[in-house]
Amino acid sequence: MRIINLALVILFLCSCSKTEVPVVPPNPPVLPPVIPPVVPPVVGASGYINLENLVNSSGYSLLKDSVWSDQVSHTLLLQYTPSSRLMILPAFQEKIFPCAILKGNFTGQKIDPEVVADYEVNPITVSPTFLNLPDKFNFVIEKPSYTATLDYLKRALSGTAVHKQIYNFSYNSFAFTHLNELNILFGGNVDIKQLFGISTENTGTVTKVRNGIVLRAVQVNFGIDMDIPEYSVFKAKVDNNILNKSKISSVSSIDYGRMGLLTLQADAKPEQLNVITNKIRTSQPLGADEEKLLTTAEIHTYLNGYSYSGTKSVESASGLQKIQGFYNLISSEGTFSASTYGSPLFYTLNHSVDYSRVPQQGYVVRVNVQREKVIKTN
């Protein structure tokens, strides 16, 4: 069963007056009311934010926080909540398909899953969340694989030329002070610079901390769910003790859609950056000081599942035009089809013995947040 982001729904409802009736945003998705970024207190004199606040606002549970010898970097032990979904990146999306056998419930350093290739699986039945399927549609994938799943989606989506009803759309923002803190939003260690197309190298030290906000839009177009098998997913008899000991799990559901993140860092308070982005979002003119601030700001994007032309247009822009292009992109691509349904964004795992969801049993990851040491110049 899908779990809706309750916190986001509450924020949206609270923004309505007592006489308003909340409605589902139409397609293309309309950006919801502005959600001010969390502004957590700084840690000591370094100027970096308290990571626990970012963890809590991201939907994870913090089990342990270990501070490095530099006193500004941290290693966090995070636990997924029962409603959490594991994120998929383009670099490893071919590993994720219904009934893919992976190692689950492990203290991983990366979000790239560990594939287990020792088992042959039975045919599976998969159900999509969208309607208007072709007549006499076959829900069975005979030999589960990434390419077989692509064929399945092409067949399933061909029942309608353009699907106009998306499954879910969310938009929120977070305050941050170092790009590596965004590992928390991804639920594990990723190459932030590569994902956001940043070529600059870390210097090891900085003279000041630049505040930032990250805008995140997630549009889930649809999902697919694997039916729980009547007997076993495995063709041959398996030893349940080995499965339990090695935490062998299978992919049970996948969400497809589009995800966009934009980071904005400048010599300003997060509240001021939020005011600027809200003005751009609502097409209000910026003041001279605000325009000047954007000329020296660092602005980067991570875009997954959007059209090639739309993505390139945003990536090639800078300053004000980059933020405008980001908002235009995330609010315009509100339909999907057999050829433009986005990318796999999230997945869930089931234990291969009792088919319970892995996050409910405590999926744990170790996240490193390496930050430069702040040195004084006076």
Q: What whole-number percentage of the chain has pLDDT above 70?
A: 85
At residue 301, the pLDDT reads: 98
CA distance 144 to 124: 7
Please report which helix (H) or strand (E) contains residue 276, including its range.
Answer: helix 270-281
At residue 8, the pLDDT reads: 43
CA distance 142 to 265: 49
Q: What whole-number percentage of the chain has pLDDT above 90?
A: 59
At residue 11, the pLDDT reads: 41
Q: Is residue 36 very low, low, confident or very high in pLDDT (cuts 50, 70, 90)?
A: low
pLDDT tens, residue by residue, 220-277 = 999 999 998 888 899 898 888 888 888 888 999 999 999 999 999 999 999 999 999 9
Residue with tokens 């932030």: 192
**pLDDT score of 318 more than 70:** yes
Residue with tokens 């290693």: 75
Taking the CA atoms of residue 219, residue 220, residue 222 and residue 224 in that order, the dihedral angle to the nearest 10 degrees is 160
At residue 37, the pLDDT reads: 57
Burial class of 358 by CB neighbour count within 10 A (0 to 12, 13 to 18, 19+): buried
Within 10 angstroms of residue 250's Cβ, the number of other Cβ atoms is: 25
Q: How far is CA 279 from the centre of its chain?
A: 25
At residue 101, the pLDDT reads: 94
Q: Is residue 19 very low, low, confident or very high in pLDDT (cuts 50, 70, 90)?
A: very low
At residue 59, the pLDDT reads: 78
At residue 17, the pLDDT reads: 39
Q: Is residue 362 very low, low, confident or very high in pLDDT (cuts 50, 70, 90)?
A: low
The pTM score is: 0.87
At residue 103, the pLDDT reads: 85
From residue 30, how far is each of 73, 259, 322, 329 by CA, in Å?
38, 15, 19, 11
Q: Is residue 1 very low, low, confident or very high in pLDDT (cuts 50, 70, 90)?
A: very low
At residue 353, the pLDDT reads: 82
Please report which helix (H) or strand (E) contains residue 219, including its range.
Answer: strand 211-226
Positive or negative, the CA dihedral 310, 314, 317, 320 is positive
Q: Are strands 373-374 and 205-206 parallel, antiparallel or unpaired?
A: parallel
Is there a contact between 39 and 175 (Cβ–Cβ < 8 Å)? yes
Evaluate the omega torsion of the peptide bond into residue 25 and state whether it is cis, within 30 degrees of 0: no
pLDDT tens, residue by residue, 159-206 = 999 999 899 999 999 999 999 999 999 988 999 999 999 987 777 788
Nearest to 318 by CA among 252, 249, 264, 255: 264
When pLDDT is averaged across residues 284-308 and rounded to a whole number, the result is 96
Residue 234: strand pairing partners: 121
**pLDDT score of 16 more than 70:** no
Please report which helix (H) or strand (E) contains residue 56, including its range.
Answer: helix 51-58
Query: Domains in the chain, please, with CATH?
Result: 6-374 (3.90.840.10)
CA distance 178 to 186: 14
Q: Chain-wide mean pLDDT for the chain?
A: 86
pLDDT tens, residue by residue, 2-13 = 444 434 443 443
Residue 189: strand pairing partners: 110
At residue 257, the pLDDT reads: 97
Burial class of 135 by CB neighbour count within 10 A (0 to 12, 13 to 18, 19+): exposed
CA distance 314 to 323: 8
Please report which helix (H) or strand (E) contains residue 222, including its range.
Answer: strand 211-226
When pLDDT is averaged across residues 62-72 and rounded to a whole number, the result is 92
When pLDDT is averaged across residues 107-120 and rounded to a whole number, the result is 83
Positive or negative, the CA dihedral 322, 323, 325, 326 is positive
